[in-house]
Amino acid sequence: MEIILIGLSHKTAPVEIREKFSIPADQMGDFRSRLAGLAGVRENMFLSTCNRMEVLSVVEDREESAGRIKDFLGGVAGMSGDELTPYLYVCKGEEAVAHLFRVTASLDSMVLGEPQILGQVKEAYRQAVENKAAGLVLNKLFHRSFFVAKRVRTETKIASQAVSVSFAAVELAKKIMGSLNDKRAMLVGAGEMSELAARHLISQGVREIIVANRTHSRALELAQSLRGKAIPFADFPGMLKDVDIVLSSTGSAHYIIHKEHLTGIIRARKNKPMFFIDIAVPRDVDPAINEIENVYVYDIDDLQGVVESNKEDRRKEIQKAEEIVRQGVEAFQRWLSSLEVVPTILELRQRLEKIRQREVEKTLTLLKNASKDERKILDILTQSIINKILHHPISLLKHQEGRGEGKLYVDLTRKIFHLDNEEEDD
């Protein structure tokens, strides 16, 4: 029984490869059935997000199953296994366990500490349970991963140290406005940093995203992906009174948002605060706007200062989180090892008991005149010998249970006593 994880992510594959695994809902049932039907696969889970695709399996043979799973995934993507292999990573045993824990705890995400991945992993596990693809091992493994993720979130500040400009902007907005629930935001410009910041805003509860961009088709595309609303670029000044957060990132050579744009707006908003995030170079927002009461403007240098001050703290928090993951892996491996030790002890006892009974029967054919009491004494004597022979091996196995060399001792015991042989040696 082996654990293997095969996948690809934003670190190993471009979006045109990742999107090949966005399987429509009406085809997912057939996909899962074919995955579960691969020879040698006992349990499996499939995770697919915009940034990663992973198959986690409990298999009979690592190498054979890895090849079958790669070929299967290649077929899904319309590629051969060899064509897909350069984009894949393969984790086995403890490495696979540690990878799952890091993913669930958001230590492997594009945005470190983002909360969405935990919900996505939980949903993938729920689907595996519903499809009866998760058994004893994956059930234990995923519950342990959720426990590890909870510890990382509660015992470290991994999600609160902003180390990207877009994330820093959102954290500052939270400090100024408190909860972002039911707030409205507007993107002026639809570049990559604006999109990333918008996704952070949505994750923090922002109710609606409005997108204004000089190329309106790009505004429509981004608004659709954010489930927001696109407006013509020329209309954005008229929308300022209706939004709480403005994130601007255009290629303009001059300010596009001026102090006069806000004349009367704060009064109309009944002094509700407004927050401007200017990540454009050159700047889009006139710094003079900061002079208006309850209006806050932060430019790229302000945000970069926040990022730099947080980087050292984040490094310390990552170390704490990795230690929590390490402890989680050790705990799971101790449990997994116990699954192997206990059956081995039972099989060892059964093997020697069969040998004992067979040899007693042979001996009794030579002692045809033995009395009932003599037969009982012979039975007790041979049982005692077997128990004394087994005492040290069983004690050693129990002592090594959960330790680093536990599997080695189990493997040697099974080989020495021929426990994996279908036929016993005379």
The catalytic residues are: 50
SS3 47: strand
**Hey, what are 371's tokens?**
């009395």
Q: How far apart are CA 210 and CA 231, in angstroms?
A: 7
Which of 424, 426, 400, 408 lies closest to 347 in space, CA to CA? 424
Q: Residue type for 249, please?
A: S
Asked if 162 and 171 count as a contact pair (C-beta separation under 8 A), the reply is: yes
42: nearest Cα among 64, 74, 73: 64
**CA angle 280–175–104, rounded 5-degree value:** 85
Exposure of 412 by Cβ count < 10 A (0-12 exposed, 13-18 middle, 19+ buried)? Answer: middle
What CA–CA distance (Å, rounded) separates 293 from 153?
Answer: 36
The structure tokens listed for 278 are 């200017």
Cα–Cα distance between 23 and 28 in angstroms, integer? 6
C-beta of residue 128 within 8 angstroms of C-beta of residue 45: yes
| Cα separation, 173 vs 94, whole angstroms | 40
**Residue 262: exposure state from Cβ atoms within 10 A (0-12, 13-18, ≥19):** buried
Please tell me the total number of residues recorded for the chain in this structure.
426
R_g (Cα) of the chain, nearest Å: 31
